Structure 1
Amino acid sequence: MAIAIKTPQEIEKMRASGAILRQVHQAVEQAVKPGATTMDMERVAEAKIKELGAKPAFKGYNNYPACLCTSVNNEVIHGIPSAKRVLQEGDIVSVDCGVILDGYYSDAAMTYPVGSISPETRKLLDVTQASLMQAIQEVQVGNTLGDVGAAVQEMCEAEGFGVVRDFVGHGIGKSMHEDPQVPNYGKRGKGTKLKAGMVLAIEPMINAGSADVKVLKDGWTAVTVDGSMSAHFEHTVAVTKDGPVVLTR
C-alpha cells in the first residue's frame, strides 16, 4: 500500500480547497427546508463551486451525474439529486460534496435536519457527529487506523447504532480516493501507523438500526436494509506532528 505523504505546501493547498468546500456546504445548508428538492440543493452547490473558482470532484467521477450526493432518511450514501425528491418536515438529508482546487481534492459530508426532527433522529445525528470528532482526536503520529476506527465503533455501538462496514473512508490528495482505506471500526493499536503528511477523509456512516446496506438499481444509492435512518458526517484531516488538522472545518 503506497500512501502518499503530503508536504506542508500540499497540505496548505488542500486547506484552500477545504475552505471552498466549507462555503459550498454553508450555501447548501440554507437550501435545506421542507418543500425544497434535492435538485435545488444541487443547483446551489454547482453555482457556488463555480463562483469560488473550483471544480466539482464528484461530477463525472465513474460517470456520477452530479456535484452532490444527497441521501435522504434511510439512504446511507450516494443518493442522486432529483427534482422529484421533495424534502418533508422531519426528514434528514446527508450531503456529501468534494471540490478540486489547483489539482487538490477536499471531501466533506454533513447530515442536515429538515425542519424539526424526532428526538431519536436527533440523537443519531449527534452521536454520529460526535464519533467523527472522537475519531479525529485519534489522528496522532504513531497512532493507528485501528485507533481511528475504534473511536467511531465504540461510541456508536454503545448507543445501539449500526456501523456501516460496506463503505469506508479513504486517503485523499491529488486523487479523490487514495490509500489507505479508513474503516469506521477496528481494534486499537492495529492497522497502518499514522505518519505526518498523511491526509485522510474520515467519514462515519451510521444507521439507527442494523449495519446492513444494499445498493439500489440506479447503481449508486445505498440504503439501509431494515429501512432505518442513516447519518453521515465527514471531514478531510491532515496528520501533523502537532496533531490533527481539519482541512474542511
Structure 2
Amino acid sequence: MDRLDVKLWALAEKGQIVPDRSLLKTPEQIAEIRKSADLNTAVLDHVAAHIKAGMSTAQIDKLVYDFTTEHGGIPAPLGYEGFPKSVCTSINNVVCHGIPSENEILVEGDIINVDVSTILNGYYSDASRMFKIGNVSERAERIVRVTQECVERGLKAAKPWGHLGDIAYAINTHAKKNGYSVVEEIGGHGIGLEFHEEPFVSYVTPKGSEMVLVPGMMFTIEPMINEGTPEFYVDEDNGWTVYTDDDGLSAQVEYMVLVKEKSVEVLTK
C-alpha cells in the first residue's frame, strides 16, 4: 500500500467519500486526454468564429462534425445511447440536450449553449459555451453572465483534498443570490477514459460534502442555471431535449478540470 492508498484509507475510515483508484488518471493517460481536450477547445473556437443569426443548428452540427473528423477525432455524442447528432445545441428555454435541426434557425436575441464532446485516440473531453446571437435582452445577457460567474466561482472553490460539495456550494450560493435556481437532477460527471464516469457532480450539495478531490481526478463543472424554477421536462417525442418547466430561460457553461497536487487545472472550456 503506497502513501496515497494510506491517505485514502484513512479518509474513508473517517467517513469521507473517496474515489476508487481507477478514477485517478495516470500521467500517461493525462497526456493523451490533454490532446483530446485541445481538439475540443479548437472545435468550440471554430463554432465561435462562425455562429450567427440566420444559420440553422444543423449547420452548427456540420461545423462540429467536419472540424472534429478532419483533425482525427470523433464527436462523442454521435450515436451515444442513440443520440442522433454530433453536438447538443440548447436555445433559450432548453436546459440541455437540444438536437440540431435544419428547421431550427438562430435569430437575433437568442442565447444558445453549444456542448461539444470529443474522442481522440480513445480519450474523451467535454466542454460547452454560451453564445449570444446579436443584440440580446438585458434579461438574457444577465443569465449568461451570472452562469459564467457561477462556474468561475465553482472553479475557485475547487481545491485538492477539498470536496465536490465546496464547488456546489459556491455555485448554488451565487445563483440564488442573483435570483436564479440550479437544476438538481442533472449535473457534471467524471470523464477521460469514458464519456461519463463517476462521480456524479451535483451543484446543490452542502460545503464539505460529497467526494474528496484527489489529485488525478478529472470531471466537469457544468451547472444548469434557470431563470425561474429548477423543474424541467423532457421532450416526449425525441426523448432527449430538456426544457424549463416554466418556459423561463436557462444557461449552462461547462469546464473540464483536472485535480493536481497543488491546484485544479482547466483542460477545456
Shorter-chain TM range is over 0.9
Identity of aligned residues (%): 36
Q: Tell me the equivalent position of 1:159.
A: 178
Q: Which residue identity does 1:17 align to in structure 2?
A: S
- TM-score norm. by structure 1 comes to 0.97
Task: Note the 1:154-233 alignment, pairs <5 A.
Answer: 154-217=173-236, 218-233=238-253
Q: Distance in 2 between matches of 1:240 and 1:70?
A: 31
Structure 1 residue 121: Cα displacement: 1.0
Structure 1 residue 30: Cα displacement: 2.5
Structure 1 residue 136: Cα displacement: 1.3
Q: Distance in 2 between matches of 1:152 and 1:200?
A: 16
Partner SS, residue 95 of structure 1: strand
Unpaired runs of 5+ in structure 2?
1-18
Q: Deviations over 1:183-228 (max 9, x none)?
A: 1111111111110000011101101111111101110000000001
Question: 1:166–1:213: 8 Å Cα contact kept in structure 2?
Answer: no
Structure 1 residue 102: Cα displacement: 1.7
Q: Deviations over 1:110-141 (max 9, x none)?
A: 11111111111111011101111111122211
Q: Distance in 2 between matches of 1:97 and 1:162?
A: 24
Question: 1:211–1:224: 8 Å Cα contact kept in structure 2?
Answer: yes
Q: Tell me the equivalent position of 1:123.
A: 142
Structure 1 residue 52: Cα displacement: 1.2
Indicate the structure (1 or 2) with the bigger Cα radius of gyration.
Answer: 2
Structure 1 runs of 4+ with >3 Å offset: none
Q: Tell me the equivalent position of 2:109.
A: 90
Partner SS, residue 268 of structure 2: coil
Q: Deviations over 1:86-115 (max 9, x none)?
A: 111000111111001121100001111111
Q: Which residue identity does 1:151 align to in structure 2?
A: A
Whether 2:162 is the aligned partner of 1:135: answer no
Q: Tell me the equivalent position of 1:244.
A: 264
Q: Distance in 2 between matches of 1:117 and 1:13?
A: 39
Q: Distance in 2 between matches of 1:242 and 1:191?
A: 20
Q: Tell me the equivalent position of 1:105.
A: 124
Structure 1 residue 8: Cα displacement: 2.0
> What's the Cα RMSD here?
1.1
Say which of 40, 54, 70 aligns to 1:35.
54
Q: Tell me the equivalent position of 1:148.
A: 167
Q: Tell me the equivalent position of 1:21.
A: 40
Task: Note the 1:59-78 alignment, pairs <5 A.
Answer: 59-78=78-97
Question: 1:162–1:209: 8 Å Cα contact kept in structure 2?
Answer: yes
Aligned length: 249
Q: Distance in 2 between matches of 1:13 and 1:151?
A: 31
Partner SS, residue 115 of structure 2: strand
Question: 1:162–1:210: 8 Å Cα contact kept in structure 2?
Answer: yes
Q: Distance in 2 between matches of 1:105 and 1:92?
A: 27
Structure 1 residue 151: Cα displacement: 1.1
Structure 1 residue 242: Cα displacement: 2.1
Q: Distance in 2 between matches of 1:51 and 1:219?
A: 30
Question: 1:31–1:40: 8 Å Cα contact kept in structure 2?
Answer: no
Q: Distance in 2 between matches of 1:120 and 1:10?
A: 42
- TM-score norm. by structure 2 comes to 0.90
